[in-house]
Amino acid sequence: MDIEIFSKIDNYISSLLAPEDKALSDTIRSLDTEGLTQHSVSANQGKFLQVMMIACNARRVLELGTLGGYSTIWLARALPENGKIITIEVDEHHAKVARKNIENAHLSPKIELKIGKALDILPVLIADKEEPFDMIFIDADKPPYVEYFNYVLELARPGTLIICDNVIREGKVLDENSTDEKVRGVQRLNEMLSQNKKVTATILQTVGVKEFDGMVIAVVNRI
């Protein structure tokens, strides 16, 4: 099958159901002008995150990996009036670009951007007894995905939805001998989830304007 069809269909869907307004297209443009890589979720994936948020009535959202704020803007737009997002970004330049894009989208009051390594900030959120999050989106560096998942479980409650992006990596997860640390990181996560009794999880393959990949969709069990 001609894989260009996936991009064409993605554009068809997003033109109907996930059109970008100026704040979102400005954000995508800012990645090029500011020298950031085009690693944001697609428009359809942004809309998918919104649908998931509304389905689980999310008022508090945690995101790991902000980049230029594109997914953060989609997420924030699905929050209720009293909703809040904490988003964590290690790169100060990315964070600066994201702040500008978030301001441009008039969403600053709803978004707390924390700068630092997620592995340093997550234990602080836990120690501070942060109120549990309703939805958590993991989209930072891939090698510590298992550690991120285990930390965020401590910031969750039964029913919290946890979504982890880029866990199929164009099918490279099938290579048991892979030495790519990103592939190794998501393989570790996917295998850990197969044994984890705290969540009910699956992986959705994703195709479209982004490379062929997949997202973990996990919900914390009511024990």
**Could you list the residues that contact ligand SAM (CB under 6 A)?**
39-41, 64-67, 70-71, 88-91, 94, 117-118, 139-141
Looking at the Cβ atoms of 20 and 91, the one nearer to ligand SAM is: 91
Looking at the Cβ atoms of 11 and 221, the one nearer to ligand SAM is: 11
Taking residue 16's Cβ as centre, other Cβ atoms within 10 Å add up to: 8
Question: Which residues lie across from 214 on neighbouring strands?
Answer: 205
Question: Which residues lie across from 134 on neighbouring strands?
Answer: none
Question: On the CB side of 191, how many CA atoms lie within 13 Å of its CA?
Answer: 9
Q: How far apart are CA 68 and CA 77, in angstroms?
A: 16
Question: Which residues lie across from 88 on neighbouring strands?
Answer: 64, 114
Q: Which residue has the tokens 């996930």?
A: 18
For residue 166, what is the DSSP state? -
Q: How far is the CB of 124 from ligand SAM (least distance, A)?
A: 13
Looking at the Cβ atoms of 39 and 96, the one nearer to ligand SAM is: 39
Q: How far is the CB of 211 from ligand SAM (least distance, A)?
A: 12
Nearest to 43, CA basis, from 70, 67, 61, 9: 70
In this chain, which residue has its C-beta nearest to ligand SAM?
65
Angle between helices 22-33 and 70-77 (to 10 degrees): 160
Residue 76, judged by CB atoms within 10 A of its CB (0-12, 13-18, 19+), counts as buried
Q: How far apart are CA 222 and CA 220, in angstroms?
A: 7
Looking at the Cβ atoms of 134 and 139, the one nearer to ligand SAM is: 139
Q: How far is the CB of 67 from ligand SAM (least distance, A)?
A: 4
Looking at the Cβ atoms of 20 and 222, the one nearer to ligand SAM is: 20
Q: How far is the CB of 86 from ligand SAM (least distance, A)?
A: 12
Looking at the Cβ atoms of 90 and 203, the one nearer to ligand SAM is: 90
Q: How far is the CB of 97 from ligand SAM (least distance, A)?
A: 9
Q: How far is the CB of 166 from ligand SAM (least distance, A)?
A: 7
